[in-house]
Amino acid sequence: MSGVEVVAPLVGEVGALGVGELHTTIASKIASSRNLDDNYNILLKDMEKLLAIKKDKEREIQRNNHKDTTNAYKLWTNRVSDAAEEVQKLKVKYKEKMLPWWRIRRRSRLSENMVKKSNCVRELVKDECLRDFLVDKPPEPVLKELNVPRISGYPTLQDALEKTLGLLRNNKIKVIGVCGTKGVGKTTIMRNLNNNEEVAKLFEIVIFVKATTDDHMLQEKIANRLMLDIGTNKEHSDDVARRIHKELEKKKYLLILDEVEDAINLEQLGIPTGINGSKVVIATRFPRVYKLNRVQRLVKVEELTPDEAWKMFRDTVHAFNPKIDSLDIQPIAQLVCQRCSCLPLLIYNIANSFKLKESASSWSVGLEDLKPWPELQNQGLQELYSCLKFCYDELKDKKKQKCFLYTSLYPVDSKVYTDYLVECWAAQGLLGDINDKRSYRSARNCGIDILEHLANVSLLEKGESMIYVNMNHCMRQLALHISSKDPECSFYLQDGEESENLSNSKAWQQSRWVSMRQLLDLPTRQDRSMVLTLLLRKNPKLTTIPQTFFENMSSLLLLDLYGSMITQLPSSLSKLTGLRGLFLNRCELLESLSSEIGSLQFLEVLDIRDTKVTFIPLQIGCLTNLRCLRIPFVASEDDAQNVHVISKLHRLEELTIQVISYEQWCNDAENVLQHVASLENVTDLRCCFPSSIILREFLSRSKSWSCKQQNSFRFFVGCQNSRRPQILESFEYKITNYLRYCNGGQEDDSAIIEVLPKTDAFELVCHKDIKKLSNFAGIVCLERIRGLLIKKCNKVLTIVSADTSSNTMNGIQIETRVILPNLEKLYLENLLNLKCVFRGPLHSGTFSKLHTLSLKNCPSLREIFSNGAIQHFSELQNLKLEDCSKIEILISKDIEPEKDVLPKLEMLLLVNLPNFNTICSTHTLAWSSLELLRIHNCPKLKTLPLDSDNAVNLKSIKGQQEWWDELEWTNNDEVYQRLQPIFAASNEYFS
């Protein structure tokens, strides 16, 4: 090819250039063309180096999989990928065309592109983003728990989960407690909560950790969950707290703390509390924990029902061994399941230990092995036993430990009344000596303190209002096992119908604490000198005690014959010279106490309520160490009552007079109470006063009342005493000071006014004059009241109303002030002329603790809250309105729209209100805590004050189907669609 042919194309490209420039350009193109091969090789080497660097970085990322890469690095990898694609295209062009040397224009263009790409690749090699390209990885919103047991088939567990979810939806609730005994399934519920899809939508991040007693370790767990690198040389906890706080302060988080055993200072750990709708769930087996951690709402996880327990047990075994359904194995399997105490932990572990047993014989052997379960080599049993034994050992007090062991004398899950149990402990000397320097009340307080501690560490379970406690099967097994190793706490228990022959048995004779039920006959010849407690309670078949039965029981400290059918006590009772407690209550056929009872010089507690023993047995006068006496007042054919006996009981501290013959009592009460008033140490009195005049006389004479001691009382004035007053039943804790006043008038009120400042719960019934509460007693007298019932007071027009001037009572000016600041429950019943309950304006602090309000059968009632009074009920949780024929509206128009009215109201019941037509005149109220709405027989109520935004926590609406069908939705189908799924038709408002 001639030179003209080679140069001609270049001349066309640079025709516009001058001669000098043309020469330079042509030379450059020729040089570039000649360097094509070299530039190609350079590009390949540069690209090879870049890809090697990328590969090294990828290996470093794999080694640090807990780290994330910077956004700049991610852009860099994209640019590397683009560059690799472009280089590949250049390689294809180079290899496909292989241009001869004379194709100068094409070769030079390709060569120049390779140079540009090499420069680009070198820039990527030197990019600054490669230096610190690894950063802390952001935590996952939810770390799903693996192999989580499903709870959908177990309503008890599912219900606890649903309750917890409901509280998570409630914007008012910040700290939620989930409580239950060891092994009941709390952790399983928490794991399901962590994995729940709704929870993932409610919160930006869910933190699920098992708590520890070491705050630093707990803080480290939380920091690790948040992917905070706190280094190998541990940072100071304050520094870690600041980093945790910074990570969470702008997030809506859920912190789930499992197995919490003590108070946790969340702020000290760095957890910002009460912001952004964040919440904390605390799961614990210790009741004291949710008190220490200021839990606002508690979800109690109950044991499975027997049917649920069997389903779990059977399903666990059946997955490996379908033979469990065979006719010879299934009955034994059900007995094995019963040994699991309805606890999922035990059910799962024991079922797994039985799942490979093929025959009924092997199942029977396994069942026998389960009886001494603390010694059985089973993972679940050992874990449970170790946990329970740890709680027992942690008591670190022999008296507390013995008190716990003593409680296992009573059958599983039976209600053991706290007053009685403390009296038993005191009789055994477990609460210290009671003498002239130490009162019985002091010992009782010590016993209550121990009871509360045992309940707070989950060794005992509290019953209603702490009236009673109980011990579940596992705790009793633990106690019986420990007692079997300790001669000082040896037991003999016989609870069932099938008992061994006591005449030949030495086991119960050698025991310290004996409990026997369902007995027909008692043996008489054995040496029973070691027995300290003998419980023959609830023995309806026990009709006779042999005369010599107590001959060899000189060490006996407590004898309980409650509920037996004996007609008399044996003469050998006099041998029980060390007896401290004697319980004969509900021995309904017992008509008298034998003369031998006078020999019981150390007796401290005597209970003969619900017997036919007439008031007052002469022999009781000999019991000079008596501290607690409970006695019935039964009319006697002999008009001469031994009332002077009472005056001899100088050490008596607690006295209950159960009036059976009320008419006779009205005649004798003044004389009896005159002798009671002479006792200086009585600090707990339960009896009735036929009139307030007799009460006034008693108070003026009573040496113990006038000494301003800390009195406990249960007074019934103008009426007969009842076993369990109505208002006390409603409290979740124990109320000590109670007053019921019936059939009084204004001229009789002075004694009541003296007692009211010490009263916790007050029932006012059939008062003839009262028109409003402040007129009755004055406001100061009512400051302590926590429970109030007003019933059948037909002149009452209002309960509380504002006054522009001071009240006048008995000629004395009393300034208007805060009203009932400690009242928690208010019940108004059968008030025929009550027109308005609360009429404002009221003073700040009035009704500041009221959470339950119930109105029943008030036919003249037209208003509940009037003139701004509703603003004072910020703590109201439960409101019930029943059988009030005239009321038409609950909340009227005088409310301030910007105020959060009834912000904590959870339950609203409207029952039998024929003219009621409006819950609230505005639809703008938030109803932020409302969960349950019950409406029954309110035919004129056609609308609900609900829209698509308010009442976000409403879970249930119940009412009659025809009422629901006739509701008007003001063309808002969205509201109907939202509420329809939570409506349940019911003809019973309480169902």
* Short-list 568, 611, 470, 576, CA closest to 181: 470
pLDDT at 28: 64
Query: Quick check: 291 pLDDT over 70?
Result: yes
Judgement on whether residues 941 and 900 belong to the same structural domain of the protein: yes
Q: What is the mean pLDDT of residues 477-495?
A: 85
Query: Quick check: 461 pLDDT over 90?
Result: no
Query: Quick check: 11 pLDDT over 60?
Result: no
Judgement on whether residues 870 and 921 belong to the same structural domain of the protein: no
In a domain, 126, yes or no: yes
Judgement on whether residues 850 and 929 belong to the same structural domain of the protein: no
In a domain, 276, yes or no: yes
Residue 777 phi/psi, 5° resolution?
-130, -10
Q: Find the range with the poorest average confidence among 341-355, 592-606, 733-747, 810-824.
A: 810-824
Report the mean per-residue pLDDT for the chain: 86
pLDDT classification of 463: cutoffs 50, 70, 90: confident
pLDDT at 356: 85
Judgement on whether residues 169 and 283 belong to the same structural domain of the protein: yes
Query: Quick check: 861 pLDDT over 80?
Result: yes
CATH code: domain of residue 476: 1.10.10
Judgement on whether residues 288 and 159 belong to the same structural domain of the protein: yes
Burial 2-35 (b: 16+ CB within 10 A, else e): eeeebeeebeeeeeeeeeeebeeebeebbebbeb
pLDDT classification of 377: cutoffs 50, 70, 90: low
In a domain, 376, yes or no: no
In a domain, 19, yes or no: no
Judgement on whether residues 258 and 330 belong to the same structural domain of the protein: no
Query: Quick check: 368 pLDDT over 50?
Result: yes
pLDDT at 814: 40
Three-state secondary structure string covering 281-330: EEEECCHHHHHHCCCCEEEECCCCCHHHHHHHHHHHHHCCCHHHHCCCCH
Q: Find the range with the poorest average confidence among 116-120, 494-498, 510-514, 778-782.
A: 494-498
User: What is the torsional sign of CA 439, 441, 442, 447?
Assistant: positive
Query: Quick check: 824 pLDDT over 50?
Result: yes
In a domain, 4, yes or no: no
pLDDT classification of 580: cutoffs 50, 70, 90: very high
Structure tokens at 512: 């310290």
Structure tokens at 597: 């009872």
Alpha-carbon distance of 959 to 748, in angstroms, equals: 46
In a domain, 130, yes or no: yes
Judgement on whether residues 331 and 453 belong to the same structural domain of the protein: no
Query: Quick check: 806 pLDDT over 50?
Result: no
Structure tokens at 671: 């004389």
CATH code: domain of residue 856: 3.80.10
pLDDT at 531: 93
Q: What is the mean pLDDT of residues 284-300?
A: 87
pLDDT digits (tens, 9 = 90+) for 117-136: 889 988 888 887 777 887 77
In a domain, 867, yes or no: yes
Alpha-carbon distance of 483 to 401, in angstroms, equals: 10
Judgement on whether residues 247 and 319 belong to the same structural domain of the protein: no
Question: Are β-strands 956-959 and 279-284 bridged in parallel, bridged antiparallel, or unpaired?
Answer: unpaired
pLDDT digits (tens, 9 = 90+) for 896-939: 655 678 989 999 999 999 999 999 877 778 888 898 999 999 99
Question: How many of the other CB atoms lie within 10 Å of CB of 643?
Answer: 16
pLDDT at 245: 93
Q: Which of 300, 328, 356 is the last residue of a domain?
A: 300
Question: Are β-strands 468-470 and 461-462 bridged in parallel, bridged antiparallel, or unpaired?
Answer: antiparallel
Q: Which of 883, 905, 922 is the last residue of a domain?
A: 883
pLDDT at 721: 84
Alpha-carbon distance of 370 to 354, in angstroms, equals: 11
Alpha-carbon distance of 340 to 363, in angstroms, equals: 15
- Domain membership of residue 404 as a residue range: 400-489
pLDDT classification of 371: cutoffs 50, 70, 90: low
Judgement on whether residues 841 and 862 belong to the same structural domain of the protein: yes
Q: Which of 840, 861, 883 is the last residue of a domain?
A: 883
Instruction: Give the percent of the chain with pLDDT over 90.
Output: 46
* Short-list 146, 280, 283, CA closest to 203: 280
Query: How many domains does the chain fold into?
Result: 6
pLDDT at 102: 55
In a domain, 767, yes or no: yes
pLDDT at 609: 95
Judgement on whether residues 851 and 926 belong to the same structural domain of the protein: no
Judgement on whether residues 795 and 829 belong to the same structural domain of the protein: yes
pLDDT at 289: 86
Judgement on whether residues 871 and 728 belong to the same structural domain of the protein: yes
Q: Model's pTM, two decimal places?
A: 0.79
